[in-house]
Amino acid sequence: MNQRPLNSLSGATPEGRPHVPPSADTVPRSSTLQSHTRTASPVAAQITPSSAPVLQGSTNNAPYYKKVIESIDQLPSLPVIVTRLIQVVNNPESSADDAAKLIEKDPALTSKMIRLANSAFYGIPRSISSVSSAVVILGFNTIRSLVLSASVMKLFAGSQQVALDKEKFWRHSISTAMAAKIIVRHFINVRMMDPESAFCAGILHDIGKLIFNEYMSNEYAEVVAFAETNNISLLDSETKVLGINHAAIGKVISDKWALPLDLEYTLVYHHEPVAANHLNELVATINYADLIAHEAGASLWENEPLYVAKDNYRSILNVSDADHERIYQTLLDSLDKSAEFFSIIK
């Protein structure tokens, strides 16, 4: 394999960096990556064109800000089962039966959990026939990851918007998730991190792009075309065309869905992990996994340029060239499993 050196993974020069209030310094610090459950709050009152998070030096195009915020207001809430499951996972008093009883209220979700637990993707050596067994064997964080992934995919399953190729989008997201899990589990001693938390963060890291595609499809088609024509990253193109980007709206999406703090920080800071403060190791892992997924061919179009901030994962993670080669090869060897995961979870 002709491996590119680590410092050549960038395909575009950043013109600014996402800045999203509140600052990471305003969030209570924690020595672990335990998720924090929050109550969903109305979106429209939280952000205005003048206060919306943007890349520094962006165009500040007020009409698009208004449309973005109105679009997120239209976004359906996550199913009650998902928010309840997040609460159950975060409660140290919860049992596997508590989680299983919630999942079993949704027959389609139950079927997906059983199929995934028995798939080659997880490689469990014995047959699993009940949700409670799946929860015990796979663990709470894996179940949270699967339920969140399935629920978010279902929200956008019927969309006919075509600014983005959704199959390629999910292929990239799942490949990023798999790379993140490989990084945490096998190659980098990332302090206090759970591989399944990294997997879930990898799947959801680019969800802002789907929001643009769903509710601003015509404008986002211009973004994609501008990126391809000018050979720049989607992040840079979003900023130039819309005046706001998919990372900058991550905080608002997280509030709308009451996502745990680890996922919120991933949505917001996955292009500038240094700014993620006490969660910077998780976010740096996603930043690095994103790059590896692109390098492995899981991109939205051929030779799609990447946005790489000056202070990226290399400022946080100790990745040697040998580590990079092993992670890359392991991901390539695992990509067939990503197709199976997608076929079950979608």
8 Å CB contact between 88 and 94: yes
How does pLDDT run across 80-102, given as a tens digit for each residue? 989 999 899 889 999 999 999 99
Which CATH code is given to the segment(s) 58-78+159-345?
A: 1.10.3210.10
CA 251 to chain centre: 13
| pLDDT score for 40 | 39
CA dihedral (319, 283, 100, 175) in degrees, to 10, reads: -60
| pLDDT score for 302 | 80
Helix and strand totals (H; E) in the chain: 15, 2
Residue ranges, the chain, pLDDT below 70: 1-63, 161, 188-192, 310-311
Distance CA 201, CA 203 (A): 6
| pLDDT score for 123 | 86
| pLDDT score for 192 | 66
Q: Where are the alpha helices (DSSP H) in 231-320?
A: 234-242, 250-257, 261-269, 280-295
Nearest to 200 by CA among 149, 251, 135, 157: 149
| pLDDT score for 290 | 95
How does pLDDT run across 143-197, given as a tens digit for each residue? 988 889 889 988 888 777 678 888 899 999 999 999 999 999 877 666 668 888 8
* φ, ψ (nearest 5 deg) of residue 262: -65, -35
The domains of the chain are located at 58-78+159-345
